[in-house]
Amino acid sequence: MSQPAAPAVAQPREVTVVRDIFDPVGLDALPWEHWAEPGRAGVELHRLYLTDDDAAGAAMITRMAPGAHGDLHEHLGHELILVLEGELRNDNGDRYRPGDLVIEEPGSVHRVSTVTGCTVLGVRHAATRPVG
C-alpha cells in the first residue's frame, strides 16, 4: 500500500489584497492618482498591476467623477469591466450598474462616460490604442 502524500508546503510569495471594494469607505482608503491623458477628463485610478510583457496588460480600479469620460480607444486584447458603484455608459448607449460584468473583445472601439459618477474594476489583457 502506498503512503499518503506529504502536505504541500506553502511557498513564499507576494500577494496583494484590496479589502472592501464594494464599500465606499474601503474605496476611499485607496491611494488614487489622477489619470492625465488626452481625451480623458475627471478620472482617477488605483493601479493593481501592470504586466511587463509585450502585451502590456493591466488591472486597475477606476473612479470617474459625475460627467467624466474616457478617451475613444481600440482594444488590442480583451477588457473586463466590473461596475462596483454608480452607472457607467458605453458610447453605444448601453448602461451598466453595480454588479454588471462587461467584456470588450479585441478590436472593439469605444468610449465610456458617466452622468452620475462610477467606480469600476478593469482588467486589460493588452494595451489600448487611441482612435481619432
Q: Does this model's pTM top 0.75? A: yes
The tens digit of pLDDT for each residue in 17-63 reads: 899 988 889 999 999 999 888 778 899 999 999 988 777 899 999 99
Residue whose C-alpha is closest to residue 101's, from 119, 121, 86: 121
Q: State which amino acid sits at residue 111.
A: R
pLDDT at 103: 96
The tens digit of pLDDT for each residue in 75-109 reads: 999 999 999 999 999 999 999 999 999 999 999 99
Instruction: Give the whole-angstrom CA distance, residue 21 versus residue 13.
Output: 23
Cell of 42: 475627471
